[in-house]
Amino acid sequence: MQQFNTDLKAQAAIVGHAIFQGGKVTQYLRPGIDEMAASFAGWKSGAGLFTVRSPAGARQVQVILLYRFSPNSDPTRLAELLQADFADNPTTRAISQMSGLTLATIVFDSHTIPIPLPDKIADAIYSQLYHQHHDGATN
């Protein structure tokens, strides 16, 4: 798999995934992203939140995907690339088969995701996003 996509409509650098199992984070950082970090210095950062709704209507976060994207990226095409990467990654492939899974994207305007991501910084980013967007039971 390519480390970052050079699609004409979107350029995206996938930083990593966090999978949540009962509120506990299992983390995957993209191999080789550290060496490529300078390429993405001027890009915006964002997160893709893959969620499901419980029968009671509560939103449950399953996976958070952190990424950077170039300023000229098309948002619709970017979402397609995030979904494709999510389904193609062996760490997240099984979860991508869940029924009712939806993707929401957010953009960080006031700060960017550091690359490389030291463990505690990564855990803090993933945990903060999880708690902001998870309003259901954590199993």
Q: What is the pLDDT of residues 39-63, one digit of tens each?
A: 888 899 999 999 999 888 889 999 9
Q: Is residue 114 in some structural domain?
A: yes
Q: Is residue 139 in some structural domain?
A: no
Q: Is residue 52 in some structural domain?
A: yes
**Per-chain mean pLDDT for the chain:** 85
Q: What is the pLDDT of residue 136?
A: 67
Q: Is residue 138 in some structural domain?
A: no
Q: What is the pLDDT of residue 2?
A: 45
Q: Is residue 106 in some structural domain?
A: yes
Q: Is residue 79 in some structural domain?
A: yes
**What total of structural domains would you count in the chain?**
1
Question: Which structural domain range is residue 36 located in?
Answer: 4-133
Q: Annotate 63-101 with b (16+ C-beta within 10 A) or e (fewer).
A: bbbbbbbbeebeeebbbbbbbebbeebeebeebbeeeeb
Dist. CA 51–CA 64, nearest whole Å: 9
CA distances from 102 to 32, 52, 67, 71, 106 (A): 28, 6, 17, 24, 13
Q: Is residue 45 in some structural domain?
A: yes
Q: Is residue 9 in some structural domain?
A: yes
Does pLDDT of 1 surpass 90?
no
Residue closest to 81 by CA, chosen among 1, 24, 27, 135? 1
All residues at 6 or more sequence positions from 134 whose CB lies less than 8 Å from its CB, including other chains: 20, 51, 59, 60, 61
Residue that wins the pLDDT comparison between 28 and 46: 46
Q: What is the pLDDT of residue 138?
A: 52
Residue that wins the pLDDT comparison between 119 and 139: 119
pLDDT band at 6 (very low <50, low <70, confident <90, very high): low
